[in-house]
Structure 1
């Protein structure tokens, strides 16, 4: 059973962290807290996250500076960030958020249903990428490593085909959701890249069949 996707919650206020955890409690994810930008960067050194929910207004290192550090690191630069801030923030906060690398921006108080829906989309995309990486690893093993005695292509290829088809089906469903507006428009780029990876994997698999 694969590990549940992890979400990093970054906010200096305890009540906000509690509220975020309550909103996400119905999702199959693990929420991990950070009370500052420094704590967030430390957590990112050893844990793989599907998504970061990052408060803009924090003492010391604020959300924009934290995001800049995240995007500069090779290990973390591709983790999606959703900025959270109060409704009376400066008018340029949204622009600064996107410029800092955020994929989305929500003002407090936000609709819990909207936040859950957005988180669900990014978690699903993260899980699909993990599954695709596993399938690619299996295919590389099939191409480059001799199989153990008693295990042949007749056993391996059907299983690869089944797993790849499942990824293709999920990718098609995700594309439909984004096309209908049930997700951030910024998902179009990642979905396109994921589609290209799936096409390459399918081409390699078909060459074995």
Structure 2
């Protein structure tokens, strides 16, 4: 996720978009908006979205349709999605939503404090996860890379297996050995 990633809020009602933006503004994250499922998919596929707040029932492409499509595309399948609904509890909707891997299903009207807490957790966790994936890719590239002498980078960087590891201060104290400064 790029550092300029945003939270995308998707709803077909302007007043709801405004209310959600107002609720999330104190977090200081970049916010984007879309008024349809099609518009949301376009923004998500551009790669600038780190979290999606998505109304379930919209004309045309519904929120569930957006999630179904996102889960089939590698670049978008791990973006956290919070579905929003104003139609009360619905077992079929709940089952379908969690079956698609949404992070949460929230009923309207929304408690701003609870929403901020969920969004902060999901957005920050997703960013940390992506940062760790990036670090793993860099480490794998480093291990696979080779130096000018043809020796693999990992072999050059690691000490010889027979090399003696110096005793650290405090090691052995629990076994009754005396600590010695070997400098």
Which structure 1 segments of 5+ residues have no match? Answer: 148-152, 157-209
Does the alignment pair 1:76 with 2:76?
yes
Identify the residue that residue 3 of structure 1 maps to in structure 2: 3
Identify the residue that residue 202 of structure 1 maps to in structure 2: none
Structure-2 change in CA distance of 1:145 and 1:29 (3 Å): farther
TM-score when normalising by structure 2: 0.71
Identify the residue that residue 54 of structure 2 maps to in structure 1: 54
CA contact (8 A) 1:50 1:122 kept: no
Is 47-56 or 82-91 further displaced after alignment? 82-91
Q: Which has the higher helix share?
A: 1
Structure-2 change in CA distance of 1:60 and 1:125 (3 Å): same
Q: CA RMSD in A?
A: 2.6
TM-score when normalising by structure 1: 0.63
Aligned length: 150
Question: What are the within-5 Å matches in structure 2 for residues 45-194 of structure 1?
Answer: 45-88=45-88, 90-143=90-143, 144-146=145-147
Which structure 2 segments of 5+ residues have no match? Answer: 149-153, 158-183
Identify the residue that residue 31 of structure 2 maps to in structure 1: 31
Greater C-alpha Rg: 2
CA contact (8 A) 2:4 2:48 kept: no
Q: Which runs of 4+ in 1 moved over 4 A?
A: none
